[in-house]
Chain A
Amino acid sequence: MNEIAVEVKGLKKSYDKVDAVKGVSFSVSKGELFGLIGPDGAGKTSILRILTTLILPNEGSANILGYDVVKDYKKIRNNIGYMPQRFSLYQDLSVEENLEFFAQVFGTTVKENYDLIKDIYIQIEPFKNRLAGKLSGGMKQKLALCCALIHSPDILILDEPTTGVDAVSRKEFWEMLIRLKLKGITIIVSTPYMDEANLCDRVALIQNGTIMKIDKPASITSEFGRMLWAIKSENIYKLIQDLRQFEFIDTVYPFGEFIHITSKSNNMDTNSLISLLKGNNHSKIEILEIQPNIEDCFMALMNN
């Protein structure tokens, strides 16, 4: 166990004057599902493109299964599957032709590794003669995943596979990833959706080219280190503005129907807060102490 699959040390990448990756280090164990969590422009794609040997780092090193991304790029390419952010398939080939093409490029056949993709492929098999360009978003994504897996890679690297995808398709996609992980494949996946962090074994929270934190999702949330409350009233917009006026309140962030707040003293007399808000004409006020989620932690780290 705990054999290292990917080791990244002091990685830097810049384009013209923009420093996209500013010295990033992390390692991923074999069989692990590792998430790079962060918004657009955080540096996720640059890191993944270095790992897949498509671009060169300016500084630092990255090893995949013991191979160096610069010197041994040919060996790495045979051992990884990569699903880039933008749809990477041949639009004017059919579903079946795309799959056969990718198998051939890697010197294998669809038959040889069919077991690995079977669960996913049967969902799109009824459309195997359809051109890839004519598939719906969810189906394209499934085909792209099949094509990335068809040479039975040890490591699967996915760049924002769920961006712009609806909540149901996102859920289905993560179920597929978790089944692949159970087959022993090491998976590195990037996403801007904070709620997907909980589905990873470990995550790196990344912002502006820097990793703010790496750990198991549960460890990250347990280290939030402050009291947190969720509050709501009938007029959320006014509530946000009013809460910001109070000296003792620190952060105020809307979360769905609630607003998450912290206080400067890390204490809160909730009853007096309620009376204060009633004085500001709020009604149906509810307040409760809650446990932070990854998004709370991400924002706290951004403010550090």
Chain B
Amino acid sequence: MLKQTENIIEVKNLVKKFGDFVANDNLTFDVKQGEIFGFLGANGAGKTTALKILSGLSFPTSGIVQVAGFDVYREREKVKKNIGYMSQKFSLYEDLTVKENIRFYGGIYGLSGKYIKEKTEDLLKRLKMENIKDSLIKSLPLGWKQKIAFSVAIFHNPKIVFLDEPTGGVDPITRRDFWELIYEASDSGITVFVTTHYMDEAEYCDRVCIMDQGRIEAMDTPALLKNQYNAKNMDEVFIQIAR
């Protein structure tokens, strides 16, 4: 896939310590604009810590971290305006309707009422969800919620969207539908930074980074990693690195 070569995330010698514990041990990597970047690692490898720093929720102990051209130490609010975030655990208000959730998030990002209204109609049409726009989120199947949550996360047209295990527990068809939304976002120039435990999903990424015990152990395209580790699939690559 042809990707623009401009870096949208630049991380150099990132260290994050909690007391004596080194959660991120000297991470250096770049993510290019429009890239689908997979961030893999065992539980406790340091993924969430790095994700929090990149999204402006936590300060690094040391190192340089630039996200969408902004410095995470001094320009956290600008970082937040330029990113979207979706996690498996929390994303939408269950007691609000589909439309209300969209309006709420649009408002938080400071979008105008007129813009929100127009874009909401457009979005509902694309998701084929016009008939459920006034349904409460809690009444919808998990797969639908996740599609809405993703659309809400990119509603303000951010440069980067962070997805933390977005497809956990959904059925195999919905999981694939969800990845098509990811491809579509990437195609429109949004950079997608995604963590997952499904190794087949690692194959859908342009590049993957595999963390182990706070360090980056491998980073490349899935094809080159498989080649390098002489592995049939990403599952085998992952097991060789993390075991």
Contacts and interface: CB of A to CB of B under 8 A. Distances in A.
A91 B200 CA distance: 34
A257 B203 CA distance: 5
Given A40-B169, A163-B168, 19 more contacts: A39-B142, A39-B143, A39-B174, A40-B170, A136-B43, A164-B168, A166-B41, A166-B42, A167-B239, A168-B238, A236-B183, A237-B1, A254-B176, A256-B200, A256-B204, A257-B222, A257-B233, A298-B171, A298-B172
A192 B171 CA distance: 8
Interface centre among B172, B176, B197, B243 (most CB of A within 10 A): B172
A133 interface: no
Contacts of B172: 39, 194, 253, 295, 298-299, 302
Interface string B212-243: 00000000001100000000011100110011
Contacts of A302: 171-173
B204 A236 contact: yes
Nearest to B43: A137
B1 A38 contact: no
A138 B243 CA distance: 13
Given A207-B171, A254-B204, A257-B222, A168 B243 contact: yes
A155 to B, nearest CB: 25
A50 interface: no
From A40, A302, A303, residue with most partner B Cβ within 10 Å: A40
Contacts of B44: 136-138
A237 B174 CA distance: 16
B180 interface: yes
Contact of A39 (B170, B186, B223): B170
A167 B43 contact: no
Contact of A256 (B143, B170, B233): B233
Contacts of A255: 200
Interface string A77-115: 000000000000000000000000000000000000000
A157 to B, nearest CB: 19
B128 to A, nearest CB: 16
A80 to B, nearest CB: 25
30 contacts: A39-B171, A39-B174, A40-B142, A41-B141, A41-B142, A137-B44, A163-B168, A164-B197, A166-B41, A166-B197, A166-B238, A167-B235, A167-B238, A167-B239, A168-B239, A168-B243, A192-B168, A192-B169, A235-B1, A236-B1, A236-B183, A236-B204, A253-B172, A253-B173, A256-B200, A256-B203, A256-B234, A298-B172, A299-B173, A302-B173
A236 B186 CA distance: 13
Interface of A: 38-42, 136-138, 163-171, 192-194, 207, 234-237, 240, 253-257, 295, 298-299, 302-303
A167 B197 contact: yes
A133 B203 CA distance: 34
A168 B93 CA distance: 34
Contacts of B1: 234-237
A254 B179 contact: yes
Contacts of A299: 172-173
Contact of A38 (B45, B171, B183, B223): B171
Interface string B1-16: 1000000000000000
B165 interface: yes
Nearest to B204: A254
A134 to B, nearest CB: 12
Contact of B242 (A168, A235, A240): A168
Contacts of B179: 254
A253 B175 CA distance: 10
Contacts of A171: 239
Nearest to B184: A237
B209 to A, nearest CB: 14
A257 B223 contact: yes
Contacts of B174: 39
Closest 9 CB pairs of A and B: A39-B171, A40-B169, A256-B203, A137-B43, A166-B42, A256-B200, A237-B183, A257-B203, A168-B242
B187 interface: yes
Contact of B199 (A167, A194, A240): A167
Contacts of A138: 42-44
Nearest to B183: A237
A17 to B, nearest CB: 9
Contacts of B204: 236, 254, 256
Contacts of B186: 237
A293 B187 CA distance: 30
B240 to A, nearest CB: 10
A164 B180 CA distance: 22
A274 B198 CA distance: 30
A165 B187 CA distance: 30
B175 to A, nearest CB: 8
A138 B197 CA distance: 14
A240 B234 CA distance: 21
